[in-house]
Structure 1
Amino acid sequence: MTRTLLNHRAEGPESAPPLLLGPSLGTSHALWDKVAPELSATHRVVRWDLPGHGGSAPDLIGPGATVGDLAALVLGLADSLGIERFAYAGVSLGGAVGLHLAVHHPERVTSLAVICSSAHFNGSKPWEERAELVRREGLAALAENANSRWFTPGFTVPRLIEDHRNADPEAYAACCDALAAFDLRDRLPEISVPTLLIAGRQDPATPPAHLREIADAVASATLVELPGASHLAPAQCPAAVLTALRAHFDGGAERGMEVRREVLGDAHVDRAQARQTPFTARFQDFISRYAWGEIWTDPTLSRRERSMITLTALVAHGHYDELAMHVRAARRNGLTPEEIGAVLLQTAVYCGVPAANSAFATAQRVLAEEEGDDGATG
């Protein structure tokens, strides 16, 4: 039976914001092996294979294919997974698909990252010649010199070279046809979603000037240039790519600070910020980015559930000053005094009666303050 959907791999919670990752010509979704698992901590990551690459059927496209045809396959995949709107990141041809989606289907794309790609690929002739060569001779010769096109000297990823060698020649040639016909320069000003552009400074295929051209035309664009990176930056410089993508898609410390204020209250956060020194600044940034920007924003658990877990952990370790702060946070997150009491009673069983006794005293004091009652704790 003919398959009609692109082969794909999904990672991360189904309830998390969706993020689609597109590959470069000649590679599979293995291009994202060192980046996707980390992104899946905060997103439902779906990485897909081009037709005839990896596990995708070669007959999904044919001669004369366009980037629009590939974009339609991506939308079909998203529809099949119940994904209406999504963030998108793509490399080279995968990045061109992202640009097409942002121009022609802006209602589907929430934010965009274009990596080592372009709004055009140096005219049609080189791609027409490559398509003709591949249809005539196959992919062995191209795979042999893939390292020089993809990476800086001395670096390689054998899995990706093997993917190149094993791609279907007709499907690969059809993807070359798509690159030959692609030129979106006149439409770039129409892109309105937040757009991140990542260029490899040593990329011979789509040098930084190609990404700067997009940055100059897209009002909401940010450009990052990676020293030491060639064409397949996610494989060669995964940490740098991951850092840039996280900041773009997650909001990083900014989003973390927003959630921190929502849970702990402005007064507490303002006091913490006022006490910050150069010595503690990195730790405060770590808390905002990781604890609040990644863990507390993960939609797998509700904030109510996270408050209950946090109260239990603080009792278990005897952190009663922090417990007072998180009793207030639990109230903001919707827990009633009765529910907080039930959580602390549970800790009496599993953390010990003395720990729970101190916890009840702390919680009662905080709840009394919240109610404007100066009654004694016991």
Structure 2
Amino acid sequence: MPSAVNGSVSIRYEIAGEGPAVVFVGDVGLGVWQFAWQHGAIAGPYAAVTPEPRWIDRSDEPAGPYAFDDLVGDLEAVIAEVGSRSVHLVGYGFGGLIAIATAMDSARVRSLAVIGTPADGDALDPDSLWTDPTDRAAVEASTTALLSDRFRTAHPDAVDRIVDWRIAEDAPPETAAAQRAALADADRSDRLYELTVPTLVLHGTADAVCPVEHGRRLADGLPRGTFRPIEDVGHLAGIEASGALNDALLGWLADHADRDED
């Protein structure tokens, strides 16, 4: 598995597919399972790049707390190591904030798509998103709360699979706390005018982790922001409404990805 280095920290990542590079940036404390429903749609026509953040799995786990700039630096290191002249970023929640900050400073970012993302880390409620993965009952309760009754009834096997993935992949308490400390510095609300790349803001209208008005506010503040609500789903819109969200992502990438690029 390839890796990128930010200072003394090694960040592992996977690449699947060929074409313009699409880099996934995950939410606070969650494993890479969160993009499972998008990865299959993106990999193939695009090179889907999935970093394993510094607190999870095979990447290094330095002692925290982490600064927001540390996590932005991790993403910048992966982008540099991938080697494409330009990339497209897809961020979930806190990962969307990391993607926004990266795009403000990097000439390599051609477009953004963010899901359930505000302009300020204070608008996210990590307590309703992450829970201790060593406590199965807590993970089951958390997962149930994050998904609608309709989805749980229609896809009970998927819910069980998500619980298993969370137990295996989500951050342990000490590393989740280290990352959550970075939320305090994740405020770009007064600098949105600097983000000049086209940005698609996708947001579940029933999102309890980051209420939908924060997504609307983010899109309104961006010079090239496009807001697209996903009706009647929560924070895990990429799971509950994977078909609609994947169609939106693929349409967005088709409009903004130059297939002549390496």
Matched, 1:251 2:252: no
Which of these residues, 163, 169, 172, is aligned with residue 176 of structure 2? 172
**Unmatched segments (≥5 aa) in structure 1:** 256-292, 301-378
Paired residue secondary structure (1:143): helix
Q: Which amino acid aligns with 2:38?
A: V
Match of 1:326 in 2: none
Q: 1:102 to 1:298 in 2, by over 3 A?
A: closer
Aligned residue-pair number: 245
1:258-316 Cα deviation digits (max 9, x unpaired): xxxxxxxxxxxxxxxxxxxxxxxxxxxxxxxxxxx9xxx5889xxxxxxxxxxxxxxxx
Native 8 Å contact 2:21 2:49 kept in 1: yes
Q: Which amino acid aligns with 2:45?
A: T
Greater per-residue helix proportion: 1
Partner of 1:374: none
Q: State whether residues 197 and 224 of structure 2, in contact with CA within 8 Å, keep that contact through their aligned partners in structure 1.
A: yes
1:229 pairs with one of 220, 224, 233? 233
CA contact (8 A) 2:14 2:49 kept: yes
- Kindly provide the amino acid, as one letter, of the partner of residue 49 in structure 2: V
State the match for 2:74 in structure 1.
73
TM-score by length of 1: 0.58
Aligned to 2:112: 112
The TM-score normalised by the length of structure 2 is: 0.81
How much has 1:244 moved relative to structure 2? 0.8
**CA–CA separation in structure 1 for the residues paired with 2:38 and 2:191:** 30
Is the contact between residue 149 and residue 204 of structure 1 (CA under 8 Å) also seen in structure 2? Answer: no
Shift of 1:139: 5.7
Equivalent in the alignment of 2:160: 158
Equivalent residue number for residue 90 of structure 1: 91
What's the counterpart of residue 188 of structure 1? Answer: 192
In the alignment, the residues of structure 1 paired with residue 80 and residue 31 of structure 2 have an alpha-carbon distance, to the nearest angstrom, of 21
CA distance in 1, matches of 2:59, 2:145: 23
Q: Is the 8 A contact 1:233 1:241 kept in 2?
A: yes
- Identity among equivalent pairs (%): 23
Q: Does 1:197 align with 2:201?
A: yes
Which range moves more in the overlay, 186-195 or 165-174? Answer: 165-174
The answer to whether the aligner puts 1:10 opposite 2:15 as a matched pair is: yes
Question: Which one has a bigger Cα radius of gyration?
Answer: 1
Which structure is richer in relative contact order (CA contacts within 8 A, separation 6 or more)?
A: 2
Q: Output the CA distance in 1 between the equivalents of 2:192 and 2:164.
A: 35
Distance 1:56-1:160 versus aligned 2 partners, 3 A rule: farther
Q: Distance in 1 between matches of 2:33 and 2:86?
A: 24
Are the equivalent residues in 2 in contact too, given 1:26–1:163 (CA < 8 A)?
A: no
Correspondence for 2:61:
58
Taking structure 1 as reference, are residues 38 and 123 closer, same or farther at Cα in structure 2, changes over 3 Å only? closer
Tell me the SS of whatever aligns to 1:25: coil
Structure 1 residues 201 and 123, CA, compared in 2 at 3 Å: closer, same or farther?
Answer: closer
Matches within 5 A, 1:1-378: 4-13=9-18, 16-59=19-62, 62-103=63-104, 105-122=105-122, 140=135, 143-153=139-149, 155=152, 157-166=159-168, 167-251=171-255
Q: Secondary structure at the match of 1:185?
A: coil
Following the alignment from structure 1 to structure 2, what is the Cα–Cα distance between the partners of residues 143 and 181?
A: 27
1:204 positional shift: 0.3
Gaps of at least 5 residues in structure 2 are 153-157
Measured after TM superposition, the shift of residue 138 of structure 1 is 7.7
How has the CA–CA distance of structure 1 residues 182 and 37 changed in structure 2, closer, same or farther, with 3 Å as cutoff? same
Instruction: For residue 207 of structure 2, give the secondary structure of its aligned residue in structure 1.
Output: coil
Letter in 2 for 1:47: T
1:173-203 deviations in whole A, cap 9, x for unaligned? 1111112332110011111000000000111
Contact 1:201 1:227 in 2 (8 A): yes
